C-alpha cells in the first residue's frame, strides 16, 4: 500500500492546471497505484493526481459498479439531461452540497500504457468523471454551486479547523469512514 497524504483546499496545486502526461513509464504506473490506494483508504469514489500533489492529468475512480483510471481525460456531454445530487471532495473535508451535473457523458483518454480508452458514463460515474476532470483544470465542485450555496460553502471552509490552522495536507483517515465524494463505502 502506498497511501499518500491528501492536499486540502488552500493548497495552490488544487487551483493549477495539471500537465498532459507524455511519458508512460513506471512512475505513471506508480501514480495510478498510489491514487487508487489513497482513494480506497479515504473511502472516495474518485481521486485526481493534484489531490496527492502531482500536477499531471490522471484520475482514478471506483463507484462500486465501475473502477479504473484515465490519463489525459476529456469528456463530452451526451444529451441535455442533468442530475442534481450531493457531492463532496476529499480535498474539502466535511462539505457536501447538492451539485448540478450532466446526467450522461462520454469519457475518453488513454490508460497508463498509452492505449486509447473510451466509455459511456451516467449518474454517479458521470458525476465522478466531471468532478475529477474539473480537478485537472484547477476547478473544484464548490465553483459549480449556485452563488448562495457557494457563499455558504466558503464560509464553512473558512470556519473549518483545518483551514484556520493553514493545514493543506491531511494524512489519510483510514478505511471504513464514509467518503465525502458521492456515497460512503
Ligand atoms: Zn474532489
Nearest-angstrom CA–CA distance, 1 and 24: 21
Cβ atoms of residues 121 and 107 within 8 Å? yes
Residue 180 CA, ligand 1 centroid: distance in Å: 9
Residue 131 CA, ligand 1 centroid: distance in Å: 6
Residues with CB under 5 A from ligand 1 (ion): 89
Q: Which among 85, 64, 78 is positioned nearest to 145, based on CA atoms? A: 85
Residue written as cell 498509452? Answer: 114
Residue 50 CA, ligand 1 centroid: distance in Å: 10
Write the pLDDT tens digit of every residue in 39-98: 999 999 999 999 999 999 999 999 999 999 999 999 999 999 999 999 999 999 999 999
Q: What is the pTM of this model?
A: 0.91
User: For 97, phi and psi rounded to 5 degrees?
Assistant: -135, 145
| Overall residue count recorded for the chain in this entry | 185
Residue 142 CA, ligand 1 centroid: distance in Å: 10
Sign for the CA dihedral angle at 10, 7, 120, 65 comes to negative
Cell reading at 58: 490522471
Where in the sequence numbering do the catalytic residues fall? 132
Residue 8 pLDDT level (bands cut at 50, 70, 90): very high
What does the pLDDT read at residue 169? 83
The share of the chain scoring above pLDDT 70, in percent, equals: 92
Strands 92-102 and 104-110: unpaired
Residue 145 CA, ligand 1 centroid: distance in Å: 14
Cβ atoms of residues 163 and 9 within 8 Å? yes
| Residues in Cβ contact with 146 at an 8 Å cutoff, skipping those fewer than 6 apart | none
Residue 115 CA, ligand 1 centroid: distance in Å: 25
Nearest-angstrom CA–CA distance, 140 and 31: 21
Amino acid at each position: 500500500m502506498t497511501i499518500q497524504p491528501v492536499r486540502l483546499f488552500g493548497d495552490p496545486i488544487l487551483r493549477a492546471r495539471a500537465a498532459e502526461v507524455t511519458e508512460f513509464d513506471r512512475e505513471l504506473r506508480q501514480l495510478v497505484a498510489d491514487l487508487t490506494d489513497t482513494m480506497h483508504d479515504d473511502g472516495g469514489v474518485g481521486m485526481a493526481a493534484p489531490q496527492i500533489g502531482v500536477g499531471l492529468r490522471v484520475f482514478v475512480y471506483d463507484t462500486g459498479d465501475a473502477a479504473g483510471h484515465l490519463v489525459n481525460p476529456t469528456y463530452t456531454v451526451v444529451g441535455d439531461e442533468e442530475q442534481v445530487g450531493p457531492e463532496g471532495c476529499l480535498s474539502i473535508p466535511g462539505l457536501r452540497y447538492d451539485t448540478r451535473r450532466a446526467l450522461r457523458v462520454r469519457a475518453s483518454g488513454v490508460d497508463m500504457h498509452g492505449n486509447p480508452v473510451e466509455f459511456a458514463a451516467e449518474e454517479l460515474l458521470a458525476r465522478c468523471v466531471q468532478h475529477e476532470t474539473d480537478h485537472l483544470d484547477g476547478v473544484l465542485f464548490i465553483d459549480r454551486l449556485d452563488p448562495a450555496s457557494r457563499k455558504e460553502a466558503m464560509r464553512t471552509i473558512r470556519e473549518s479547523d483545518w483551514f484556520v490552522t493553514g493545514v493543506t495536507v491531511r494524512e489519510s483517515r483510514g478505511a471504513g469512514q464514509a467518503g465525502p465524494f458521492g456515497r460512503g463505502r
